[in-house]
Structure 1
């Protein structure tokens, strides 16, 4: 349309969606009209050469969690100073061997397998990041039920999903607990989720005592999985509950509770995953997860120790005798520690290091100051 402003970023994305990466131009230069020959054909020799400022303008910084992560992998593998969304993997120095190495890093970080053929089709950074996001969010058949962080660490720590239902929320915690291999579960639908999670724990670490951790609703789920594993004869080293209220009687959450719950969750999940797609995909599971926890009270007593890390304003809600506290949940010991930040802030960068240190001390059996 005459006079309309041209967005190079939007145009390049549209071309990348419609063409193989090698056909997407490296530079875009705006002209008022195409020069024509006397025969009415485009005069290629009369077209202006790409200018330096056009090349500079072509750089698009990574934004989403997947784009930022992909850019870091490219920069490390290919020795780049910076990788932009429109950059092509092979044009930037990549090779088939490098691509295989990239696939390994992606599977290690996100717990997903992206076919080599798919990445050959979308060789821009933006395209590759989108392909990984599709896999992680479960829009393809190859979704993995958990993510593994610090894969080289020997000490396992199973982390159960909060209301958002995605293991990505434990990325920061893993970075603060380098000695632990965090197996962060994604959401599993259905009323048989406790036994299915227990099966996954047993398959991942077949022998020896294992610690379980859960934030928000994940704490309630971790307790139930611990009960199931102990019933199977498995030893649980520790259950760490991050600001989860214990449910002792079954209940059905009403419409207003669900509405408020989903409003808070939408903001919180997007903050931690950096992805609109992840947020939209898991919101549909959130209400089912809350209803499941409502009809699955945390009764009984574990043989394992249970420790609770509360938010900084609610420690009094976990005192003995207060409904929702975890007193009586363990036959060998129960501790309540006051953490840092409000419930929604406990895994934020500002408070996470101190909360992670408290978790580490609990797992190591140290006195938490």
Structure 2
């Protein structure tokens, strides 16, 4: 259903409630002919029934004209459709190859970003399908003991690839998670050769009061899909579980893996990771903002940079062909 079709249905509902049929698209309902708050409540109730959706409280206050109303209705339809298709978005508690038809001897193990869902990497994976197996996993939300959770992440890696060296990737706080799993792997005697980080900060006390929703307050626009996933029951649940983990996390210690951090140009610095490895820390400037890295306008540059890093790793024999 298009936004135009939604708008025409809304016109019929508004006429039924107010007997007014000549509102302009951007004209506020309450500015004409005494259309009061009770009328708005009735319009909202009939709209929910017609489209089989449920508005959130803050959206009702935005239900002010046809343009805004149709946008909100479309948004709710998409969110509730996503909610009904949970299995399409959740990978689960085991690594799944997002490039399932690819037979490569290079495995990348991707740890979920702050959203908590490994499917965030799908577009990157498809653009690298001729270069590597791209394994992703969701955040393991059923753990109160985080040491056991990290052990389980490590176990799942070894179930896919029983010997190192290993290559990890993480976007944002997913890189902080990858760092912690690397420490566990190294304690077990496994070699993680490299971690590719996508605009990641070392997680410490200064970062603990941050979550994905608070990035909105910084003026950075959240991609529509991410915002909608956060408003689904399953998306909200797994994000909240990841946030609880991050609120107690402190990325301390030193690993042996090389760290490659792809950072947005206007924030290029060591992000705190330079002291976190005994080996090489490298930064790569990329365009965009923290939340826009994987959007269509920037993803080609991002993927090309990852591809170049993979070639560099192969050339230094850290991954054996």
Structure 2 unaligned residues grouped into runs of 5+: 1-5, 7-80, 315-321
- What's the Cα RMSD here? 3.4
Is the Cα contact below 8 Å between 2:93 and 2:140 reproduced in 1? no
Is the Cα contact below 8 Å between 1:253 and 1:290 reproduced in 2? no
Output the TM-score relative to the length of structure 2. Answer: 0.62
The answer on 1:186 being equivalent to 2:141 is no
Aligned counterpart in structure 1 of residue 124 of structure 2, from 173, 188, 191: 173
Give 1 or 2 for the bigger CA radius of gyration. Answer: 1
1:272 positional shift = 5.5
**Helix, strand or coil: the match of 2:276?**
coil
Output the TM-score relative to the length of structure 1. Answer: 0.54
- Distance in 2, matches of 1:203 and 1:186, equals 16
1:182 positional shift = 0.6
Is the Cα contact below 8 Å between 2:208 and 2:249 reproduced in 1? no
- Distance in 2, matches of 1:276 and 1:253, equals 21
Q: Does the C-alpha gap of structure 1 residues 216 and 130 become closer, same or farther in structure 2, counting only changes over 3 Å?
A: closer
1:251 positional shift = 7.1
Structure 1 unaligned residues grouped into runs of 5+: 1-6, 8-128
1:197 aligns to what? 153
2:203 aligns to what? 247
2:103 aligns to what? 153
Is the Cα contact below 8 Å between 2:258 and 2:280 reproduced in 1? yes
Q: Does the C-alpha gap of structure 1 residues 262 and 202 become closer, same or farther in structure 2, counting only changes over 3 Å?
A: farther
- Distance in 2, matches of 1:362 and 1:301, equals 22
1:278 positional shift = 7.9
- Does 216-225 or 280-289 show the bigger shift? 280-289
Flag the structure with more relative contact order, 1 or 2, with Cα contacts below 8 A and sequence separation at least 6. Answer: 2
Dislocated runs of 4+, deviation >6 Å: 129-132
1:156 positional shift = 0.7
In the alignment of these two chains, the number of paired residues is 229
Is the Cα contact below 8 Å between 2:193 and 2:256 reproduced in 1? no
Q: Does the C-alpha gap of structure 1 residues 168 and 146 become closer, same or farther in structure 2, counting only changes over 3 Å?
A: same
- Distance in 2, matches of 1:247 and 1:258, equals 14
